[in-house]
Amino acid sequence: MTRNSLLRKTVVVAGCAAFVGAVDVGIGMAASINANVSATVVSPIQISKVSDLSFGMFAIGAGGSLAIDTAGVLTPTGVTVVTSPHSAAEFTVTGQSGAGYAITLPAAVTLASGANNITVNTFTVNNGAGSGLTSTLTSGTDTLIIGATAMTPSGTSTGEYSGTLTVAVEYN
Amino acid sequence: MSGREIRMSVVVKPAAAPIIAVLLLWAPASVSAAPTAVTKTQDLQFGQIACDSGVSGSVTIDTTGSRMVSGSVKPLGSAYAPAQFVITGNVGQTYTLTLPTEFPVTSVGAAMTVTSLSASIGSTGVIPASGSLQFVVGGTLLVNGAQQSGAYSGSLTVTVK
């Protein structure tokens, strides 16, 4: 009587344990899947100089300024051009075909001749996209032409002035 | 004799009822316990990047789909995405999600490493009433200094059980 009762309870417990075991097997199976992972490293952007920015030779006279535009045209204001060899700065930019890039120019460059200085500013840009500070590397290359204005007030000392214009380009 | 028999039947009846109840509860679970499965719905794409020579950096795609860079890496274009998967299985089942610690992506240049993998769901959880659970996986790509340009590829393996 009492033994029978205990025996049945034991059967119930064993039945539960067996089914729990079956469920564990079902959820214990691991499933794996792969996702492709990709990254594209593009060619670094590079810039090289084709020609320097040159204002040529001029006489100060009443003083003023001397501008050279991106077409290489010289415009004197209050100064007199003596010889005409002059050029806008030109650069070649290369990198990832079709990628856009940004151009960074200084606000001003100082040209020095001994202790005397001339300030060059008001830089202008011509590139494959137009005249702004952004352009596109169509076919992986672009031409950058930069004009500027040299400030030559009355009293500017005679001499041969030189300085460095640094142009930076970066993908955008 | 007859008195004993009556007492025995009184004891047996309540014991038999729980047996039936327990069997009904557990039998359906064991029969329909299909394996938990996982499928891929989107690849992990870090997209186009440029980097300065000689300076290392990284690019991270997080689980919200945002792309962030550090060091010399410059992000280009707008084609990037986290990996996306779907777990399917029995409602209420507990799953365990395992991601790799790191893995390489390779091309003609030096291999890069993808690390810091993270998922938009916890590493363990329960399959919801819909029977499926979508999640995304992001990670960080470590870019070497002077990384050679090229198309790099690798494989992210996720395991669910």
Q: Which residue has the higher pLDDT, A145 or B14?
A: A145
Rounded CA-CA distance B24/B26 in Å is: 6
Chain A residue at shortest CA distance from B9: A1
Which residue pairs, CB below 8 angstroms and at least 24 apart, start in A111-118? Answer: A111/A150, A111/A161, A111/A162, A111/A163, A112/A161, A112/A162, A112/A163, A113/A157, A113/A159, A113/A160, A113/A161, A113/A162, A114/A159, A116/A156, A116/A157, A116/A159, A116/A161, A117/A161, A118/A150, A118/A151, A118/A152, A118/A156, A118/A161
Q: What pLDDT, on the 0 to 100 scale, is given for residue B109?
A: 78
A97 pLDDT higher than 50:
yes
User: What residues of chain B lie within 8 A of the CB of A7, using their CB?
Assistant: none
Low-confidence residues in chain B, pLDDT < 50: 1-3, 6, 8-31
For residue A131, the 8-state DSSP code is: S
Please give the mean pLDDT across all residues of chain A: 85
Q: What pLDDT, on the 0 to 100 scale, is given for residue B21?
A: 43
The continuous run of DSSP H or E covering A40 comes out as strand A31-41
Count CB pairs under 8 A between chains A and B.
170
Rounded CA-CA distance B159/A31 in Å is: 6
A30 pLDDT higher than 50:
yes
Q: Are residues A5 and B52, on separate chains, in Cβ contact within 8 Å?
A: no
Chain B residue at shortest CA distance from A9: B15
Q: What pLDDT, on the 0 to 100 scale, is given for residue B145?
A: 85
Give the rounded distance of the alpha carbon of B111 from its chain centre.
Answer: 25
- Strands B44-51 vs A31-41: parallel, antiparallel or unpaired: parallel
User: What residues of chain B lie within 8 A of the CB of A12, using their CB?
Assistant: 15, 18-19, 22
Task: Establish how many alpha carbons lie within 13 A of residue A7's alpha carbon, considering only the half-sphere containing its beta carbon.
Answer: 5
Rounded CA-CA distance A91/A20 in Å is: 76
Average pLDDT over residues A17-45: 70
Judge whether A115 is closer than 8 Å to chain B, CB to CB: no
Q: Which residue has the higher pLDDT, A13 or A108?
A: A108
Q: What pLDDT, on the 0 to 100 scale, is given for residue B78?
A: 86
Task: Establish how many alpha carbons lie within 13 A of residue A57's alpha carbon, considering only the half-sphere containing its beta carbon.
Answer: 5
Confidence bin at A83 (pLDDT 50/70/90): confident
Q: Which residue has the higher pLDDT, B63 or A4?
A: B63
Q: Are residues A38 and B152, on separate chains, in Cβ contact within 8 Å?
A: yes
What pTM does this model have? 0.66
